[in-house]
Structures are given as structure tokens and as C-alpha cells.
């Protein structure tokens, strides 16, 4: 079994698509996705500044597009039957395309709609997010609840991301939980909380117009780390995810039980790779950062039981 892991917001870097676009086939795909999604991915992935790609409406389709490019290049002639896919937050759209639930065009288009809707929701109330690292988990959760903050992301390895109103995060900064370190995150607002209600409604309308297929490969859900088996369930979970916590810790627990021979972290892979190696050091993890990283992975996949199914197949 092989695992494919897709990162979420915060992993982006300026010029991240530039090395991929040197390949004519990849460049053609990105232009097609840009047209389908009404979003200039070529500009965002090559010339846009760090500030521009940090904007939620730009970050999300950029991350999904790069992850899908990596899979297109990894695609093999003989597909492996045992592939498990998971994505962190917006990376679930990438993972859904990996699993055959969405076409790449629809995955990128939904990422644009999702990002724009969440950006608008962030403008309504001053909110943000702070990583809480260390401390006793139950004490941390109780402390956040007392401050009216939401545990928006459980990243595993002793990290919970708190989200909520800026004034409540300021109270957290003044009174951190015992034994915990705090790291404010450079995000536009409180993702995966009640503050995303308007974005959830917009996204729900969008996904209702897009065809979903039952997963052709194992697909893990951020909601509970479980394998999702139906198109209807994937659709519902992707919508609900905007307001529910990301349970990446439970996805990692499922991955541990499945014990894949190889786990591939698709680009931009640095943050996700660090989490995987810290939480599951006994699993072999290979990171894809640039197209040069794909050749050894292709050889490894080909040497085992086939390879990967081309996206959208």
C-alpha cells in the first residue's frame, strides 16, 4: 500500500510552480485549470509576492494545483489498487481528486470558490489562529473553552491550533496553558470554526453543482480519520469541514494502522513531511518539493506493485 498526503494552507512559497511549468505538459494543465477556475495560477505560482499568495483566495487553489501536478507526473501505466489518500484542510480537495472523486478541474475550481468564500468570511469579524504546542491536552482544551476559543486543528505530536476572536487570542497570549508554547499563525481568520458559517453556505451551493464519484481508492476524512466510501459522504464532509476541526491526528492514527510501505508527501511538502516523520517515525516518508524529487519515487513505485492511477481516470 502507498499513501499520498496533501498539505494545507500555510505551506505555500513564492514561485512554487515555476519549476513545474518548465514542463510543457504541466504548463498546459495549469493553463487549463486556470481557465476552468477563473484564476491565474501561472501568475500566482511564478511572479506573485509572498503577500499575494498568502491571501486565502489565492493560497488554496495554488496548493491544490501543485499537488495535482505532482500526481500527474507520478502517474504510471499500471495502477496500484492499494492507495490511500489524505489531505490537510484544503488538501482534502487534492486528496479527493487523487481518489477519483473529483476531476482536477473541479478540484481547482472548488478550491477557488472555497478560498474566496473563506476570505469574505474572515472580513466580517476580526479573528485569527494560534498554534498551541505542548502541555497536557485536556488542560489545553479546557483552557481554550474558558476563553471561548475553538480547537480548530489537531495536528498531532502535541500541537493544537486555537482559533477565534482576536481579543480572545490576546487573552490566550497573556495566559497560556501550563507547559505550552504559543505561535500566532499568519492567517486571515478563524478557519474551521463557527466564523466560517457564511463560507460554508457558499461552498455548499458550489459543490451541489459539481459531479462527485464514489472513491476509487481509500480516502481519509479530516473529520474523524475514517475511510470515506461514498460520493455523497465526501460531498457532505467537504462542506462541513469549513466549520469543523481538522482531525489530522486521527488521519495519522489511521495511516499508522494501515502501515503503508511508502508515504509520499506532495508539494509543498516540508511542513507535512516534518509532522509525518515526527509523529510516525517508523514509516518511510518521501517528500516532493520540486520535479527532481519525482524520479526516485517513480522508480520505487514501479518496482513495487504498479504505480498510481492518473488523476481523473
DSSP H or E stretch at residue 60:
helix 56-74
Q: Give the 3-state secondary structure percentages of the chain, helix then strand then coil, rounded to 5.
A: 50, 15, 35
CATH class of the domain comprising 2-122+193-303:
alpha beta
User: What string of DSSP letters covers 7-52?
Assistant: --TT---TTTTHHHHTSHHHHHHHHHHHHHHT--HHHHHHT--HHH
Per CATH, 2-122+193-303 and 127-184 having the same topology is answered no
Distance CA 34, CA 312 (A): 17
pLDDT in tens, 178-196: 999 999 998 999 999 999 9
pLDDT at 76: 54
Closest CA to 57 of 212, 202, 183: 202
Catalytic residue of the set 34, 89, 128, 221: 89
CA 239 → CA 107, 206, 208, 226, distances in Å?
Answer: 13, 10, 10, 16
Task: Look up 221 and say whether it is catalytic.
Answer: no
Is the peptide bond prior to 309 cis by the omega test (within 30 degrees of 0)?
no
Task: Look up 165 and say whether it is catalytic.
Answer: no
Burial group, residue 50, by CB count within 10 angstroms (0-12, 13-18, 19+)? exposed
pLDDT in tens, 288-300: 988 999 888 888 7
What contacts 274, CB < 8 A, 6 or more positions away?
A: none
CA 74 vs. chain centroid, Å, equals: 19
Burial group, residue 310, by CB count within 10 angstroms (0-12, 13-18, 19+)? middle
Which pTM was predicted? 0.93
pLDDT at 78: 35
Catalytic residue of the set 88, 143, 165, 192: 192
pLDDT at 77: 35
Distance CA 35, CA 22 (A): 19
Q: How do the domains of the chain map onto residue ranges?
A: 2-122+193-303, 127-184
* 312 pLDDT above the threshold of 60: no
Per CATH, the homologous superfamily of domain 127-184 is: Malonyl-CoA ACP transacylase, ACP-binding (3.30.70.250)
Cα angle: 291, vertex 253, 221; to 5 degrees:
70
Lowest-pLDDT range of 2-6, 112-116, 301-305: 301-305
pLDDT in tens, 255-277: 999 999 899 999 988 888 999 99
C-alpha cell at 285: 516518508
Confidence of residue 237 (pLDDT cuts 50, 70, 90): very high
pLDDT at 228: 97
Closest CA to 215 of 105, 109, 92: 92
pLDDT at 311: 47
pLDDT at 280: 94
* 306 pLDDT above the threshold of 80: no
Confidence of residue 313 (pLDDT cuts 50, 70, 90): very low
Contact 8/241 with Cβ under 8 angstroms? no
Amino acid at each position: 500500500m502507498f499513501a499520498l498526503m496533501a498539505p494545507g494552507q500555510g505551506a505555500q512559497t513564492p514561485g512554487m510552480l515555476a519549476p513545474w511549468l518548465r514542463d510543457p505538459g504541466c504548463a498546459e494543465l495549469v493553463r487549463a485549470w486556470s481557465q476552468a477556475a477563473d484564476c491565474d495560477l501561472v501568475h500566482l505560482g511564478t511572479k506573485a509576492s509572498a503577500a499575494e499568495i498568502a491571501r486565502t483566495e489565492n493560497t488554496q487553489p495554488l496548493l491544490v494545483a501543485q499537488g495535482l501536478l505532482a500526481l500527474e507526473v507520478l502517474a504510471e501505466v499500471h495502477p496500484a489498487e492499494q492507495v490511500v489518500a489524505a489531505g490537510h484542510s484544503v488538501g482534502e480537495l487534492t486528496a479527493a481528486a487523487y481518489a477519483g472523486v473529483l476531476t482536477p478541474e473541479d478540484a481547482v475550481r472548488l478550491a477557488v470558490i472555497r478560498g474566496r468564500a473563506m476570505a469574505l468570511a474572515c472580513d466580517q469579524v476580526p479573528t485569527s489562529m494560534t498554534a498551541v504546542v505542548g502541555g497536557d491536552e485536556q488542560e489545553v482544551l479546557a483552557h481554550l473553552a474558558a476563553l471561548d476559543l475553538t480547537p480548530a486543528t489537531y495536528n498531532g505530536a502535541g500541537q493544537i491550533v486555537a482559533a477565534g476572536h482576536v481579543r480572545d487570542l490576546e487573552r490566550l497570549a497573556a495566559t497560556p496553558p501550563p507547559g505550552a508554547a504559543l505561535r500566532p499563525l499568519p492567517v486571515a481568520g478563524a478557519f474551521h470554526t463557527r466564523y466560517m458559517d457564511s463560507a460554508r453556505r457558499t461552498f455548499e451551493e458550489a459543490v451541489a453543482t459539481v459531479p462527485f464519484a464514489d472513491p476509487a481508492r481509500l480516502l481519509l476524512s479530516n473529520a474523524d480519520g475514517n475511510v470515506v466510501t461514498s460520493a455523497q459522504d465526501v460531498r457532505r464532509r467537504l462542506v462541513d469541514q469549513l466549520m469543523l476541526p481538522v482531525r489530522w491526528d486521527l488521519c495519522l492514527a489511521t495511516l499508522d494502522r494501515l502501515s503503508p510501505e511508502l508515504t509520499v508527501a506532495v508539494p509543498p511538502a516540508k511542513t507535512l513531511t516534518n509532522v509525518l516523520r515526527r509523529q510516525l517515525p517508523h514509516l518511510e516518508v518521501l517528500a516532493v518539493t520540486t520535479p527532481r524529487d519525482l524520479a526516485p519515487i517513480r522508480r520505487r513505485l514501479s518496482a513495487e506493485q504498479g504505480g498510481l492511477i492518473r488523476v481523473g481516470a
